[in-house]
Copies of this chain bind each other. A is one copy, B any other.
Amino acid sequence: MGTTTDTRPFFLDCDTGIDDALALAYLLGAGANLVGIGSVSGNTSAAQGALNTQNLLALSGHAGIPVALGHHDAQARPYGGGAPHVHGNNGIGEVQLPDAGLELAPESAPEMLVRLARAHAGELRVIAIGPLTNIAAALRLDPELPSLVRELTIMGGAALAPGNITAAAEANIHNDPEAAAEVFAADWEIVLVPLDVTMNHVLEEHDLQTLAASEAPAVQAVAAMLGYYFDFYKSVFGRRCSVMHDPLAAAIAIGKVRPTSAPYARVVVDATDGPGRGQTICDLRGRYKGHPKPDGAHCRVVLAATEDAIGEIVRGTLALADASLVVLP
Contacts and interface: CB of A to CB of B under 8 A. Distances in A.
A64 to B, nearest CB: 40
A160 interface: yes
Contacts of A162: 160, 283-285, 287
Contacts of A276: 168, 270, 272, 274-276, 279, 281
A329 interface: no
A75 interface: no
B163 A160 contact: no
B288 A236 contact: yes
Interface in A258-310: 266, 268-276, 279, 281-285, 287-290
Interface string A140-168: 00000000000000000000111110011
A238 interface: yes
Contact of A236 (B167, B168, B289): B289
Interface string A237-268: 11000000000000000000000000000101
Nearest to A272: B274
Interface residues of A, number: 31
Contact of A237 (B266, B282, B288): B288
A65 interface: no
Contact of A281 (B167, B199, B282): B167
Chief secondary structure at chain A's binding surface: loop
A115 to B, nearest CB: 34
Contact of A167 (B161, B163, B164, B285): B285
A270 B167 CA distance: 12
Given A272-B276, A281-B275, A289-B237, A161 B160 contact: yes
A272 B278 CA distance: 13
Contacts of A160: 160-162
Contacts of A163: 285
Nearest to A163: B285
7 contacts: A162-B284, A162-B285, A236-B285, A236-B289, A238-B290, A272-B273, A275-B281
Pick the 4 closest A-B CB pairs, nearest first: A272-B274, A276-B276, A167-B283, A238-B289
